[in-house]
């Protein structure tokens, strides 16, 4: 009986420690450095850096919005060539939609005040979709796009831009042999992802870097279309048990439909394509992160 009581006390203490850590971890930013091997990468882009963040989820109870501001400041110090936002800037946008959007703008201001170009996508929450079967609110999505564009962020939906290195940094403009093509896909849940439209006009041999909100979109890409691509949406699992990559809180909450939640994914999608899933910043339902801190992913570009 004493052994059983001690076991229960130990288990209770462990759960309390995990709960406390789960509330603390969301405020510690992890910078994950990765190499992105891109075929036909122009020499001028060799070793340039692209930084990625996403899933702010501003407006959820106990949201860690100060972490978004911290990340914006860190990105300015890092000074990558380009920054990418992967969507889901607000949570549900039901109480005070305008307040949440303005809060997003305030938090990213250190970055938008800099000279670093930022490109963004919309996610399902930006359409007011808490589930895949919810009705997308196009008006909310357009208002979120407008807020981002007000501060100089380019919002992509099923389109590609040619990024060129100039004396003043990276600029979107006319494509040339020295360009890196950035391809942005529409959100998956509102059924706005149109790969054929997004890649239209991108030469087959052109160097490209592909971004999407939901990893499920990756399954729809043609072979060889996305040698390097990034997605968010999963929060990296949010709570993960070390050594068990297939088990996570977000995978459990999705009833097994969310098969891939974090990092480089092998044997997924069409041949010649690679996907990296960013861990994001915010939460789904519970304001906890365990073994899954908010992440800035920094990709160093390399010729394949």
How much is the pLDDT for 239? 86
How much is the pLDDT for 10? 58
CA distance 37 to 30: 22
Which are the contacts of 106, defined by CB distance < 8 A and separation ≥ 6? 69
Tens-place pLDDT, residues 207-251: 999 999 999 999 999 999 999 999 999 999 888 887 766 677 677
Tens-place pLDDT, residues 99-112: 899 999 999 999 99
Return the SS3 of 65: helix
Contact status, residue 236 vs residue 262, Cβ threshold 8 Å: yes
pTM of the model: 0.92
In 3D space, the residue among 291, 220, 212 whose CA is nearest the CA of residue 250 turns out to be 291
Q: Which residue has the higher pLDDT, 298 or 91?
A: 298
Q: Which residues constitute the domain of residue 16? A: 2-303
**β-pairing, 49-53 with 295-303?**
antiparallel
The answer to whether the Cα torsion of 62, 292, 261, 55 is positive or negative is positive
In 3D space, the residue among 31, 4, 20 whose CA is nearest the CA of residue 296 turns out to be 31
| Angle value at C-alpha 63, between 62 and 65, nearest 5 degrees | 135
| CATH number for the domain harbouring residue 6 | 3.60.21
CA distance 21 to 34: 27
Listing DSSP states for 95-141 in one string gives S-HHHHHHHHHHHTHHHHTSS--EEE---GGGGT-SSTTSPP-HHHH
- Whether residue 50 has pLDDT greater than 90: yes
How much is the pLDDT for 255? 60
Average pLDDT over residues 15-22: 69
Residue 68 banded pLDDT, cuts 50, 70, 90: very high
Contact status, residue 232 vs residue 54, Cβ threshold 8 Å: yes
Lowest average pLDDT, out of 167-171, 223-227, 255-259, 273-277, goes to 255-259
How much is the pLDDT for 8? 57
The answer to whether the Cα torsion of 228, 232, 234, 240 is positive or negative is positive
- Whether residue 187 has pLDDT greater than 80: yes
Structural domains counted in the chain:
1
In this structure, how many other beta carbons lie within 10 angstroms of the beta carbon of residue 11? 10
Structure token digits, residue 178: 């020295």
């Amino acid at each position: 009986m004493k052994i059983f009581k001690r076991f229960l006390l130990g288990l209770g203490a462990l759960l309390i420690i995990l709960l406390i850590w789960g509330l603390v971890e969301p405020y510690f930013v992890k910078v994950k450095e990765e190499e992105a091997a891109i075929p036909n990468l122009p020499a001028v882009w060799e070793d340039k850096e692209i930084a990625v963040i996403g899933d702010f989820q501003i407006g959820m109870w106990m949201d860690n919005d100060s972490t978004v501001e911290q990340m914006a400041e860190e990105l300015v110090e890092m000074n990558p060539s380009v920054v990418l936002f992967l969507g889901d800037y607000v949570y549900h946008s039901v109480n005070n939609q305008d307040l949440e959007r303005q809060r997003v703008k305030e938090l990213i201001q250190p970055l938008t005040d800099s000279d670093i170009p930022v490109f963004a996508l919309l996610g399902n929450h930006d359409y007011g979709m808490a589930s895949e079967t919810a009705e997308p609110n196009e008006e909310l999505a357009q208002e979120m796009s407008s807020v981002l564009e007000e501060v100089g962020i380019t919002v992509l939906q099923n389109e590609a831009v040619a990024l060129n290195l100039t004396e003043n940094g990276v600029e979107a403009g006319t494509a040339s042999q020295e360009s890196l093509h950035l391809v942005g896909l529409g959100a998956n849940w509102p059924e706005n992802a149109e790969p054929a439209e997004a890649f239209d006009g991108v030469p087959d041999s052109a160097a490209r870097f592909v971004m999407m909100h939901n990893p499920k979109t990756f399954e729809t890409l043609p072979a060889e279309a996305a040698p390097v691509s990034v997605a968010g949406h999963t929060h990296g699992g949010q709570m993960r048990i070390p050594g068990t990559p297939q088990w996570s809180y977000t995978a459990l909450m999705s009833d097994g439909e969310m098969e891939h939640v974090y990092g480089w994914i092998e044997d997924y999608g069409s041949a010649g394509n690679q996907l990296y899933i960013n861990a994001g910043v915010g939460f789904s339902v519970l304001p906890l992160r365990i073994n899954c801190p908010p992440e800035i992913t920094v990709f160093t570009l390399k010729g394949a």
